[in-house]
């Protein structure tokens, strides 16, 4: 089934860009600017810090009627009753995440540029699959590149939403939407902005791409 909520600007936090006290203001600015999904991604904080920050971000997303997902940690997502989790190919698998989260939560899966992985994820119960990187990425510069044509192929083969990631900004994101992406996952083009008002403006520009398709 196509999950109707997986659509729009998908903001992903990065501790290298957003320091502790900047996290909530930056996230709220992205939500004010139109982000419909927010993923908490932080591989450096302690478990206690991660839980505290995730709970704060979830409360913020609920205020803005946006979905909140946790990166790579279904146990934390279950603990704070997040809307879902995003997992990679080495994060324990969809079945484990589903056991921890239950049937009503969202599970997204990274599939790089591999349509076979996406088909397997969909068959295993993923709610969306993510492809990328489509453009040079500052967050993951060594990630394998993906050709936008994979979105055309996936749109023909899959009924679940497609998320595009990797170096996306307001100049290049439109072409991915035209090829069938349902959501654009963005890190640097949002959170490299030095002040919340600039984050909000960047989110507005990215969100406007969805109105043009």
91 assigned ligand-binding residue: yes
105 assigned ligand-binding residue: no
Three-state secondary structure call for residue 4: coil
Count of CB atoms situated within 10 Å of the CB of 35: 30
140 assigned ligand-binding residue: yes
* Beta strand pairing call for 162-165 and 128-131: parallel
40 assigned ligand-binding residue: yes
138 assigned ligand-binding residue: yes
71 assigned ligand-binding residue: yes
Three-state secondary structure call for residue 193: coil
164 contacts 132 by C-beta, under 8 angstroms: yes
DSSP assignment of 95-162, as one string? Answer: HHHHHHH-TTSEEEEE-TT-HHHHHHHHHTT-SEEEE---S--SSSTTSPP--THHHHHHHHH--S-E
CA distances from 196 to 18, 59, 133, 190, 201 (A): 11, 18, 26, 10, 9
Return the structure tokens found at 52.
């505290």
127 assigned ligand-binding residue: no
128 assigned ligand-binding residue: no
Q: Binding site for Mg(2+): which residues?
A: 72, 91
Q: Which residues are annotated as a binding site?
A: 39-43, 71-72, 91, 110, 137-140, 167
């Amino acid at each position: 089934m196509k999950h109707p909520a997986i659509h729009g600007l998908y903001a992903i936090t990065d501790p290298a860009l957003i320091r502790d006290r900047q996290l909530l203001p930056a996230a709220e600015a992205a939500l004010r600017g139109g982000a419909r999904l927010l993923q908490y991604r932080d591989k450096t904080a302690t478990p206690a810090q991660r839980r505290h920050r995730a709970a704060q971000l979830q409360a913020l997303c609920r205020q803005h009627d946006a979905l909140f997902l946790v990166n790579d940690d279904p146990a934390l997502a279950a603990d704070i009753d997040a809307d879902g989790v995003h997992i990679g190919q080495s994060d324990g698998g969809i079945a484990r995440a589903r056991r921890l989260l239950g049937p009503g939560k969202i599970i997204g899966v990274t599939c790089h540029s591999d349509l076979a992985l996406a088909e397997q994820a969909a068959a295993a119960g993923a709610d969306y699959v993510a492809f990328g990187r489509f453009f040079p990425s500052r967050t993951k510069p060594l990630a394998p590149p993906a050709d936008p044509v994979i979105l055309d192929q996936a749109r023909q083969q899959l009924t679940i939403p497609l998320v595009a990631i990797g170096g996306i900004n307001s100049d290049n994101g439109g072409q991915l939407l035209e090829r069938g992406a349902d959501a654009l996952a963005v890190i640097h083009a949002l959170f490299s902005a030095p002040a919340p008002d600039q984050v909000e403006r960047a989110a507005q520009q990215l969100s406007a791409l969805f109105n043009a398709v």
